[in-house]
Amino acid sequence: MSERDDKDLRETGNPEEKRGIDRRDILQGMATLPVLGLFGYAVHKQVSYEDAQIAQKLGTAQASNLREVKVALLGAGAQGQVLLDAMLKIPNLRIQAVCDIWTDFNLKRVINTLKKYKFDPHPYEDYQEMLDKEKDIEAVVIATPDFWHAPHTVACLRAGKHVYCEKEMSNTLEGARSMVLAARETGKLLQIGHQRRSNPRYKYCYNRLIKEAKLLGRIVTVNGQWNRAVQPDLGYPKRYQIPADKLKKYGFKSMEQFRNWRWYKGLGGGPIVDLGSHQIDIYNWFLEANPVAVVASGGNDYYSPETREWYDTAMVVYEYETPEGKARAFYQTQTTNSSLGYFERFMGDQGTLVISESDANYANAIYREVTAPAWDEWVQKGYVTAPKVVEVKEEKSAVLDVRESVSPDEHKIPVEFADLYHRPHLMNFVNSVRGLEKLNCPAEIGYESAVTVLKVNEAIQAGRRLEFRPEEFEVS
């Protein structure tokens, strides 16, 4: 100690001569620098681990020799960002161009995100210019407002690109039809973004539990819902306002309308189309039929019709003639209360399947009716887990009314899906472009779904039961 103090005291004699710091100050001053090295190493390890996890899910190891596919993103809003996040780590997918009319905000943000991931995409405002210039792009992913889907998709297909287009396929049936025809004429692929069609859990439930094991027996009734909490209109940073003439050029009356297009007639289809189409598409899929009729009640019960032209609440009953017999399916969507979120429930005479895209909120379980044959075989084969034992309390069972059914056993579905919801569907599209897979939701299926869903708005307006003719679902 004295040595140091002596030194300090010695230095005080002529501080101008000596440098202010000595070796010890430097060493002690930078003693924590190695911590940053360790930190960097740990972060690197963590990121590699996360990448490896994703790569394992995507099968990148086997996919590394797949040929590169160059794509463009058309529409860089909220949904475009969701699709982009899902595309970032798809192996050998090159995002080469991005197009959005909100150049100062959406476009800039997405380009910045892509640069972080070592892409160098070309930004465009005008999709025609993009199609003219980007000759080596093979496919376009479209996430523009619904009323642009048809013109964008048709233009891209005619320019020789394969297309992944978000649902709803179009806000009009004429639009949707033109897309199916353009896909047929050009021979290019058109995948519609009903991403549950590629979700491993949904595929498992349909292929294994419903088709193969027939655990539900005959499905007679279905219900499902998407309940969403009250949300204010979407805003925008004032300094990034799009000039009025540009908005007009692209079909919007105002910035408010541009942000909230989903609620406007002629631009979108309202909640029944935005939310319902995902789930009603599953009804058609699992019931293996298109509906024969629909009754619906709905209206703008809560929000101002000034900013929300479409119905904030819709309750729908479809009638089906399935290969097994008649079935009825209820669906509700409302935007004023979020209770129980979103799910689909298929009720057969032998079991009930409750399924949701959301792993967090739903257990994804299947219930055996007590009157149904035992599922032991399927439990042993691992198709479903062993049932959860529900203890029946003595005093309760003593007073159990004979008219009351005993509650069914709960089995879990042993398929975990912890990936981004849209990734498998996009992977299916990219691998179809490579010629390795078939589309899980080609234009024709998207069209059937659009016919099914768009009829709801018609039925609400008409205030009566509307029938579907079988040929309505076909494009000729």
Contacts (CB under 8 A) with another protein, residues 235-254: 235-239
β-strands 122-124, 466-467 pairing: unpaired
Q: 174: Cβ–Cβ under 8 A, 6 or more apart, which residues?
A: 150
Query: Which part of the chain contacts another protein (CB under 8 A), choosing from 18-26, 135-143, 159-167, 346-354?
Result: 18-26
- Return the number of the residue (51 or 458) whose C-beta is nearest another protein: 51
Q: Return the number of other C-beta atoms located less than 10 Å from residue 246's C-beta.
A: 14
8 Å CB contact between 157 and 190: yes
Is residue 47 involved in binding another protein (CB under 8 A)?
A: yes
Under rule CB under 8 A, how many of the chain's residues touch another protein? Answer: 38
Q: Shortest gap between Cβ of 264 and another protein (angstroms)?
A: 20
Beta strands in 92-234 (DSSP E): 93-99, 122-124, 139-142, 162-165, 190-192, 219-227
Ramachandran quadrant class, 16 (left: phi over 0; alpha: psi -120 to 50; beta: rest): alpha
Is residue 339 involved in binding another protein (CB under 8 A)?
A: no
- Return the number of the residue (235 or 266) whose C-beta is nearest another protein: 235
Query: Which part of the chain contacts another protein (CB under 8 A), choosing from 178-186, 188-196, 228-236, 456-464?
Result: 228-236
Pick the binder of another protein from 76, 95, 109, 263 (CB under 8 A).
109
For 9, the enclosing helix (H) or strand (E) is helix 2-12
Query: Which part of the chain contacts another protein (CB under 8 A), choosing from 39-47, 193-201, 272-280, 442-450?
Result: 39-47
Tell me which amino acid residue 417 is: F
Strand partners, 345: 223, 354
- Return the number of the residue (15 or 323) whose C-beta is nearest another protein: 15
Q: 98: Cβ–Cβ under 8 A, 6 or more apart, which residues?
A: 72, 73, 76, 107, 110, 111, 114, 121, 122, 123, 124
Q: Shortest gap between Cβ of 26 and another protein (angstroms)?
A: 7
Q: Shortest gap between Cβ of 198 and another protein (angstroms)?
A: 21
Q: Shortest gap between Cβ of 153 and another protein (angstroms)?
A: 26
Token pair belonging to 278: 């995902």
Is residue 9 involved in binding another protein (CB under 8 A)?
A: yes
Sites of contact with another protein (CB under 8 A):
1, 4-5, 8-9, 11-12, 15, 18, 20-21, 25-26, 28-33, 35-36, 39, 43, 47, 81, 84-85, 88, 109, 113, 116-117, 232, 235-239
